[in-house]
């Protein structure tokens, strides 16, 4: 299998920057996160798929909250396209827990952000329906977005469709497939890659699953704690477009073992 490596031909602008981030809850006596730095370049007509790995408690979800504007760090800067994150910053986020409104239909859930943006019902239903078809939920649009009316995988499809329709440029995902069975998880990985290929989004994806990280990611960043910061960066030199056959390639297996070794090394450090 030929391995693809993206070569920058020009200097790229940064789409997301976290500079010298620190987090303390006791005035600086103890730091939960310290000296955290991350730069993600904007790659037009391609996007990026960045994966953050780390042990439980290393602050992965907190980093996503910074980017989404849901939490402010104690020190440092968080920039989106060179501008500080504030309450006007709009970034989509998919959580591990099902986040749909159970009293609303699938159609209304997917079009929710457009409703808040003042888009009229006819247009938002049309656009929401297009996204529903893309994520394979056609025929379920009039059902209420709740379990067990919809399965766990279907509810995550609703969340992804809503997020992509709201803002396909930047998508934050916090262990979105962690509660799914193996078959559904594989299907959701394939769906996510298809949407990424179509919309060229910048995706920041948090997971504990090393094989999933290697399969999905262009770049993997490993965090350690006490205090938390990035200590390893791995560029995943697999084909840009990936299929299930990618997982059967020897180089994929080598990368999984390499990242696993780094994770074990980091987890043993204090």
pLDDT tens across the length of the chain (270 residues): 333 333 444 467 899 999 999 999 999 999 999 999 999 998 888 889 999 999 888 899 999 999 999 999 999 999 999 999 877 677 889 987 777 899 999 999 999 988 888 899 999 999 999 999 999 999 999 999 998 999 999 999 999 999 999 888 999 999 999 889 999 999 999 999 999 999 999 999 999 999 999 999 999 999 998 899 999 999 999 998 899 999 999 999 999 999 999 999 988 765
Give a three-class secondary structure readout of the chain: CCCCCCCCCCCCCEEEEEEEEEEECCCCCCEEEEEEEEEEECCCCCCEEEEEEECCCCCHHHHHHHHHCCCCCCEEEEEECCEECCCCCCCEEECCCCCCCCCCEHHHHHCHHHHHCCCCHHHHHHHHHHHHHHCCCCCCCCCECCCCCCCHHHHHHHHHHHHHHHCCCEEEEECCCCCCCHHHHHHHHHHHHHHHHHHCCEEEEECCCHHHHHHHCCEEEEEECCCEEEEEEEECCCCCCCCHHHHHCHHHHHHHHHHHHHHHHHHCCC
- pTM, 2 dp: 0.90
């Amino acid at each position: 299998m030929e391995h693809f490596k993206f070569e920058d031909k020009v200097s790229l602008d940064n789409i997301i920057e976290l500079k010298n981030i620190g987090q303390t809850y006791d005035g600086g006596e103890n730091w939960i996160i310290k000296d955290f730095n991350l730069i993600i370049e904007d790659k037009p007509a391609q996007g990026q798929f960045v994966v953050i790995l780390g042990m439980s408690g290393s602050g992965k979800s907190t980093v996503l909250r910074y980017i989404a504007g849901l939490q402010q760090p104690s020190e440092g800067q968080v920039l989106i396209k060179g501008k500080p994150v504030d309450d006007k910053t709009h970034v989509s986020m998919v959580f591990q827990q099902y986040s749909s409104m159970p009293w609303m239909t699938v159609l209304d859930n997917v079009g929710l952000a457009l409703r808040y943006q003042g888009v009229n019902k006819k247009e938002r239903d049309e656009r929401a329906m297009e996204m529903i078809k893309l994520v394979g939920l056609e025929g379920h649009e009039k059902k209420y977005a709740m379990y067990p009316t919809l399965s766990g995988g279907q509810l995550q499809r609703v969340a992804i469709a809503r997020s992509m329709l709201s803002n396909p440029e930047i998508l934050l995902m916090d262990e979105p497939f962690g509660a799914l069975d193996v078959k559904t998880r594989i299907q959701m990985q394939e769906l996510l890659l298809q949407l990424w290929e179509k919309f060229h989004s910048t995706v920041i994806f948090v997971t504990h699953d090393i094989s999933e990280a290697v399969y999905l990611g262009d770049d993997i960043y490993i965090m350690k704690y006490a205090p938390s910061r990035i200590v390893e960066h791995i560029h995943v030199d697999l084909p840009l477009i990936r299929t299930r056959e990618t997982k059967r390639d020897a180089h994929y297996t080598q990368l999984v073992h390499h990242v696993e070794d780094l994770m074990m090394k980091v987890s043993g450090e204090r």
